[in-house]
Amino acid sequence: MSSNYERISEERGWLEKLIGKIPGYKGYKEKEMRREADRLLREALVRDLTLQLNRLAPMQTALLEQGGIDWMDDIGAVKTSLQTLIDRVRHAAQGYAGFFDAVRVKEDDLDRLEQFDQQLVAELERITASFDALESAIGSGAEIRSSIAASRKLIQGINDLFSKRSSVITGM
Protein backbone atom coordinates (compact mmCIF):
# COMPACT_ATOMS: atom_id res chain seq x y z
CA MET A 1 0.00 0.00 0.00
CA SER A 2 1.08 3.56 -0.57
CA SER A 3 2.30 5.89 2.14
CA ASN A 4 -0.71 8.14 1.42
CA TYR A 5 -3.08 5.25 2.18
CA GLU A 6 -1.23 4.41 5.38
CA ARG A 7 -1.30 8.05 6.49
CA ILE A 8 -5.02 8.34 5.78
CA SER A 9 -5.65 5.08 7.62
CA GLU A 10 -3.67 6.23 10.67
CA GLU A 11 -5.44 9.59 10.82
CA ARG A 12 -8.89 8.06 11.31
CA GLY A 13 -10.53 8.96 14.61
CA TRP A 14 -11.73 6.47 17.21
CA LEU A 15 -15.34 6.71 16.01
CA GLU A 16 -14.34 6.01 12.43
CA LYS A 17 -12.30 3.02 13.58
CA LEU A 18 -15.25 1.75 15.61
CA ILE A 19 -17.68 2.17 12.70
CA GLY A 20 -15.11 0.39 10.53
CA LYS A 21 -15.84 -2.82 12.41
CA ILE A 22 -19.38 -2.96 10.99
CA PRO A 23 -19.59 -5.80 8.44
CA GLY A 24 -19.58 -4.49 4.88
CA TYR A 25 -18.58 -0.99 5.90
CA LYS A 26 -14.93 -1.86 6.41
CA GLY A 27 -14.40 -2.86 2.76
CA TYR A 28 -16.28 0.19 1.56
CA LYS A 29 -14.20 2.51 3.76
CA GLU A 30 -10.92 0.90 2.70
CA LYS A 31 -11.78 1.47 -0.95
CA GLU A 32 -12.71 5.06 -0.13
CA MET A 33 -9.35 5.61 1.60
CA ARG A 34 -7.51 4.05 -1.34
CA ARG A 35 -9.38 6.35 -3.72
CA GLU A 36 -8.28 9.31 -1.61
CA ALA A 37 -4.66 8.08 -1.61
CA ASP A 38 -4.84 7.73 -5.41
CA ARG A 39 -6.17 11.28 -5.71
CA LEU A 40 -3.38 12.66 -3.49
CA LEU A 41 -0.73 10.85 -5.49
CA ARG A 42 -2.11 12.13 -8.79
CA GLU A 43 -2.33 15.70 -7.42
CA ALA A 44 1.33 15.54 -6.42
CA LEU A 45 2.22 14.14 -9.82
CA VAL A 46 0.31 16.95 -11.58
CA ARG A 47 2.10 19.53 -9.43
CA ASP A 48 5.54 18.06 -10.21
CA LEU A 49 4.80 17.66 -13.93
CA THR A 50 3.63 21.28 -14.04
CA LEU A 51 6.95 22.37 -12.53
CA GLN A 52 8.70 20.57 -15.38
CA LEU A 53 6.35 22.17 -17.93
CA ASN A 54 7.21 25.60 -16.52
CA ARG A 55 10.90 24.93 -17.21
CA LEU A 56 10.23 24.87 -20.96
CA ALA A 57 9.30 28.55 -21.39
CA PRO A 58 12.75 29.85 -20.35
CA MET A 59 14.32 27.22 -22.61
CA GLN A 60 12.24 28.52 -25.51
CA THR A 61 13.36 32.06 -24.73
CA ALA A 62 17.01 30.97 -24.62
CA LEU A 63 16.62 29.21 -27.97
CA LEU A 64 15.09 32.30 -29.55
CA GLU A 65 17.91 34.46 -28.22
CA GLN A 66 20.33 32.09 -29.95
CA GLY A 67 18.41 32.38 -33.23
CA GLY A 68 16.85 28.94 -32.82
CA ILE A 69 13.49 29.77 -34.30
CA ASP A 70 13.70 26.53 -36.29
CA TRP A 71 13.26 24.56 -33.04
CA MET A 72 10.14 26.36 -31.79
CA ASP A 73 7.75 23.87 -33.40
CA ASP A 74 9.68 20.95 -31.90
CA ILE A 75 9.87 22.34 -28.39
CA GLY A 76 6.24 23.45 -28.72
CA ALA A 77 5.32 19.83 -29.44
CA VAL A 78 7.14 18.78 -26.25
CA LYS A 79 5.13 21.36 -24.28
CA THR A 80 1.85 20.24 -25.84
CA SER A 81 2.57 16.58 -25.16
CA LEU A 82 3.49 17.29 -21.54
CA GLN A 83 0.41 19.49 -21.04
CA THR A 84 -1.71 16.66 -22.46
CA LEU A 85 -0.17 14.23 -19.97
CA ILE A 86 -0.81 16.65 -17.10
CA ASP A 87 -4.46 17.05 -18.11
CA ARG A 88 -4.92 13.31 -18.45
CA VAL A 89 -3.43 12.63 -15.00
CA ARG A 90 -5.49 15.44 -13.45
CA HIS A 91 -8.76 14.12 -14.89
CA ALA A 92 -8.09 10.39 -14.74
CA ALA A 93 -10.66 8.02 -13.32
CA GLN A 94 -10.08 7.54 -9.61
CA GLY A 95 -10.14 3.79 -9.66
CA TYR A 96 -13.23 3.40 -7.58
CA ALA A 97 -16.78 2.49 -8.44
CA GLY A 98 -19.76 3.31 -6.27
CA PHE A 99 -22.32 0.78 -5.15
CA PHE A 100 -24.57 1.23 -8.20
CA ASP A 101 -21.89 1.85 -10.86
CA ALA A 102 -21.86 -0.45 -13.88
CA VAL A 103 -18.10 -1.03 -13.78
CA ARG A 104 -16.86 -2.61 -10.54
CA VAL A 105 -13.24 -2.13 -9.50
CA LYS A 106 -11.83 -5.05 -7.53
CA GLU A 107 -9.10 -4.94 -4.89
CA ASP A 108 -6.42 -6.36 -7.19
CA ASP A 109 -7.37 -3.77 -9.82
CA LEU A 110 -6.86 -1.05 -7.21
CA ASP A 111 -3.44 -2.55 -6.45
CA ARG A 112 -2.56 -2.45 -10.16
CA LEU A 113 -3.74 1.17 -10.42
CA GLU A 114 -1.55 2.09 -7.47
CA GLN A 115 1.45 0.35 -9.04
CA PHE A 116 0.69 2.12 -12.29
CA ASP A 117 0.58 5.53 -10.62
CA GLN A 118 3.82 4.78 -8.77
CA GLN A 119 5.40 3.96 -12.13
CA LEU A 120 4.34 7.41 -13.36
CA VAL A 121 6.14 8.96 -10.38
CA ALA A 122 9.30 7.14 -11.48
CA GLU A 123 8.81 8.47 -15.02
CA LEU A 124 8.82 11.99 -13.58
CA GLU A 125 12.49 11.50 -12.70
CA ARG A 126 13.19 10.60 -16.32
CA ILE A 127 11.41 13.74 -17.53
CA THR A 128 13.47 15.85 -15.12
CA ALA A 129 16.71 14.26 -16.37
CA SER A 130 15.63 14.72 -19.97
CA PHE A 131 14.86 18.40 -19.41
CA ASP A 132 18.19 18.82 -17.59
CA ALA A 133 19.92 17.44 -20.69
CA LEU A 134 17.85 19.70 -22.95
CA GLU A 135 18.68 22.73 -20.83
CA SER A 136 22.36 21.84 -20.98
CA ALA A 137 22.21 21.35 -24.75
CA ILE A 138 20.59 24.74 -25.21
CA GLY A 139 23.23 26.32 -22.97
CA SER A 140 26.07 24.80 -24.95
CA GLY A 141 24.41 25.13 -28.35
CA ALA A 142 25.15 21.48 -29.18
CA GLU A 143 22.89 18.45 -29.58
CA ILE A 144 19.78 20.61 -29.33
CA ARG A 145 17.75 18.76 -31.96
CA SER A 146 18.52 15.34 -30.50
CA SER A 147 17.76 16.54 -26.95
CA ILE A 148 14.39 17.93 -28.01
CA ALA A 149 13.64 14.72 -29.90
CA ALA A 150 14.58 12.59 -26.87
CA SER A 151 12.31 14.65 -24.58
CA ARG A 152 9.46 14.44 -27.06
CA LYS A 153 9.84 10.70 -27.47
CA LEU A 154 10.00 10.17 -23.69
CA ILE A 155 6.85 12.16 -22.99
CA GLN A 156 4.98 10.51 -25.85
CA GLY A 157 5.97 7.13 -24.42
CA ILE A 158 4.62 8.14 -21.01
CA ASN A 159 1.39 9.33 -22.65
CA ASP A 160 1.14 5.93 -24.36
CA LEU A 161 1.78 4.22 -21.04
CA PHE A 162 -0.92 6.31 -19.40
CA SER A 163 -3.36 5.22 -22.10
CA LYS A 164 -3.09 1.72 -20.68
CA ARG A 165 -4.26 2.89 -17.25
CA SER A 166 -7.93 2.92 -18.20
CA SER A 167 -7.73 -0.71 -19.32
CA VAL A 168 -7.07 -1.62 -15.67
CA ILE A 169 -10.48 -0.22 -14.77
CA THR A 170 -12.48 -1.21 -17.83
CA GLY A 171 -10.72 -4.48 -18.62
CA MET A 172 -10.49 -3.40 -22.27
Cβ–Cβ contacts within 10 Å for residue 10, how many? 7
Which one has a higher pLDDT value, 167 or 28?
167
Report pLDDT for 28: 59
Q: Which structural domain range is residue 139 located in?
A: 45-170
How does pLDDT run across 114-146, given as a tens digit for each residue?
A: 788 888 888 999 999 999 999 999 999 889 999
Q: Give the chain's mean pLDDT.
A: 80
Domain count, the chain: 1
Let me know if residue 105 belongs to a domain. Answer: yes
Let me know if residue 120 belongs to a domain. Answer: yes
Cβ atoms 96, 108 nearer than 8 A: no
Q: Which of 156, 158, 92 is nearest to 125 (CA)?
A: 158
How far is C-alpha 55 from the geometric centre of its chain's CA atoms? 17
How does pLDDT run across 87-117, given as a tens digit for each residue?
A: 999 987 765 544 444 445 566 777 777 788 8
- How far is Cα 130 from Cα 152, in angstroms, rounded to an integer? 9
Kindly give, in sequence order, each residue whose CB lies less than 8 Å from that of residue 45, ignoring residues fewer than 6 positions away. 89, 117, 120, 121, 124
Phi, psi of 67, rounded to the nearest 5 degrees: 80, 25
Q: Is the dihedral of CA 58, 43, 88, 147 positive or negative?
A: positive
Question: Helices in 24-71 by DSSP H: which ranges?
Answer: 25-65
- How far is Cα 50 from Cα 39, in angstroms, rounded to an integer? 16
Let me know if residue 96 belongs to a domain. Answer: yes
